[in-house]
Amino acid sequence: MTRKAVKGSVIADLLAENPIEDYEALDFEFPYEYVNVVSSDNTVPNDVWEMYFDGAVNLSGNGIGAVLVSPDGEHFPIAVKLRFDCTNNVAEYEACVSGLQAAIEMKVKKLEVYGDSALIIYQVKGEWQTKDPKLIPYQKYLLKLTEEFEEISFTHLNCNKN
């Protein structure tokens, strides 16, 4: 096997090896409608969220993961086992798309996106062209999702920092 075929992340590998049979999606509804004030200090809060994403394709299966981090440090993990064969780049796009969809559902308006896939990051930023016909629909859809945010940025991380 080539090195790329074996590459994977810990979250995606764990998910692929331990599928959850009766998974229920997280409920992002705010349960405290009666709360008017969360903080009493008058400082302007940092309203920028962070998202980290990664996808993996290996012998055990295909999986994706993303983590949304709120401005106050709360983590919202997303993990999905893909039930179709795909390349590592498709898995990376799936992970990024899933994270953005969750952020949109949570009404996030300012987002900093981090991923270890240089291909995805630089294609979305428009610095690299998308030539693979399988990836073109993913890039178009991802760019459409970015229009839902007031501010969004994409940053490439090395694998050891992701």
Q: Looking at residue 90, what is its pLDDT? A: 92
CA-based end-to-end distance of the chain:
24
Domain residues for the domain of 109 are 3-18+46-157
- Tell me the residue type at 137: P
Tell me how many domains the chain contains.
1
Q: What is the pLDDT of residues 85-131, one digit of tens each?
A: 888 899 999 999 999 999 999 999 999 999 988 888 998 888 888 88
Query: Does the pTM exceed 0.75?
Result: no
Residue 79 within any structural domain of the chain: yes
| pLDDT of 56 higher than 90 | no
Q: pLDDT exceeding 70 applies to what percent of the chain?
A: 70
CA 106, CA 68: separation in Å to the nearest integer?
10
| pLDDT score at 4 | 46
**114 inside domain:** yes
Is 95 among the domain residues? yes
* Contact in structure between 140 and 126 (CB atoms under 8 Å): no
Q: Which residues on neighbouring strands pair with residue 81, listed in sequence order?
A: 63
- Backbone phi, psi, residue 42, to 5°: -95, 10
